[in-house]
Amino acid sequence: MEKKLWKWSIPFYLMTILIATLWPFNFWQSNRTSYWPQDGLRLVPPSTVYSAIPALKLSKIEKFTILVDLTCEDSGSNGYARILTYSLDERRRNFTLGQWNDCLVFLLRASGPARMVHFEVEGVLKKGVKEWVAIVFDGERLSLYRDGALKGAKRTGPLDFSDWERGYPLVIGSEGDGKFPWAGRIHSVAIFDRALNGEEIQSFRDREKQPGHTIDSPLVYYRFADMQGPTIRDHGIGPRADLVVPKYFTPYKPIILKTPSNEIRGLWSDRTDILLNFLCFIPLGFLFVNFLNSQGFPSPYDILLTIAIGFSLSLTIEILQAFLPGRESDLTDLITNTLGTITGSFLRRTAT
């Protein structure tokens, strides 16, 4: 009876680990982005839209205005829900426009060591209300407008964007890796390479409502009311940065084995996950060393083979998690899982 229990313990354990880490196995999750002539682009998580190629024409920008016509459908968010980003993930970004409850949040990377500008204004977004929001940088300060009216400003001094990464896509509704999804409707997006004032923003808004209106040459311009098919044309000047709507929830670039934060507090905030990953792989080390012993494997080859099995299993799980909505492929998980396997192996060795 005891031998039968040992025989079935390993497959049962492996099945439990796979279900816990990969459930619900939605590798072909549909992209829940939809579009309607009257409502524009609707984003219901998990959803994502991104430029087919990097938006290279934004890489030499010095001043800018980012105009977004939107309707948010969620009064809260888990983290800064991404409305529009020029990035790959939360750590590799040029800029991010996001939502936190009713706040509009703008994160901007400039030249210099760790030069990240954080600009946030409360009471801007209202659930179910169609609004025009604009982020403007005039060379000295960031300003936020809602429906043409100034709602907040932050003096930054001169900023240099010459080291912006040229290979990043423009992404709507999530990060480039599919994380931090936003719920709502996007009616249009325009990015100018100059600073517009409140009157110019209002004028652009009024003209956009008129059939056959003329556009003041934005670098990037998407109108979602007239889109056709899975490609959204960029009507801005210069090389086109057309958007694509993938059929499945496929991130622009899945991040495999994301490196841990450089800050100790970043690791400390993940201490529960680290501990669970460590504890969950202790049984693997214990069970496999016991199994290999029963098959006549000599020491220390039983321990070395068990560690290799634990590492390979963890690596496989982390690679698969990079393609699952809501999951992350993390180097820290691979390390802690392997350490758990090592600990379990030596616990079994000391128990004999």
Q: What is the DSSP string of 85-104?
A: EEESSSSSEEEEEEEETTEE
Closest among 223, 254, 127 to 183, alpha carbons compared: 127
Query: Is CATH 2.60.120.200 what the domain over 33-244 is classified as, yes or no?
Result: yes
Q: Please give the model's pTM, rounded to 2 decimal places.
A: 0.84
Confidence check: pLDDT of 264 > 50: no
Burial (Cβ within 10 Å: 0-12, 13-18, ≥19) of residue 221: buried
Whole-number percent of the chain with pLDDT over 70: 89
Residue 320 and residue 324: Cα distance in Å, rounded?
7
Check residue 76 and give its pLDDT: 60
Tokens found for residue 235: 């009507």
The answer to whether residue 268 scores a pLDDT higher than 60 is no
Crossing angle of helices 331-351 and 301-321, in 10° steps, is: 150
Among 120-134, 147-161, 214-228, which is the least confidently predicted range?
214-228
Residue that is written with structure tokens 């029963």 in the block: 294
Q: Output the CA angle 75-245-238, nearest 5 degrees.
A: 105
Express each pLDDT in 7-61 by its tens digit.
Answer: 678 888 999 999 999 988 888 899 999 887 777 899 999 999 999 999 999 988 9
The neighbour count for residue 24, using CB atoms within 10 Å, is 10
- Give the contacts of 277 (CB within 8 A, at least 6 positions apart): 333, 336, 337, 340
**Spatial distance between the Cα atoms of 31 and 320, rounded to a whole number of angstroms:** 18
pLDDT per position as a tens digit, 74-126: 766 567 899 999 999 888 899 999 999 999 999 999 987 658 999 999 999 99
In tens, the pLDDT along 168-200 reads 999 999 998 888 999 999 999 999 999 999 888
335-351 exposure pattern, b = at least 16 Cβ within 10 A, e = fewer: bbbbbbbbbbbeebbee
Question: What are the structural domain ranges in the chain?
Answer: 2-26+257-351, 33-244
| Residue 210: band (very low, low, confident or very high) from pLDDT cuts 50, 70, 90 | low
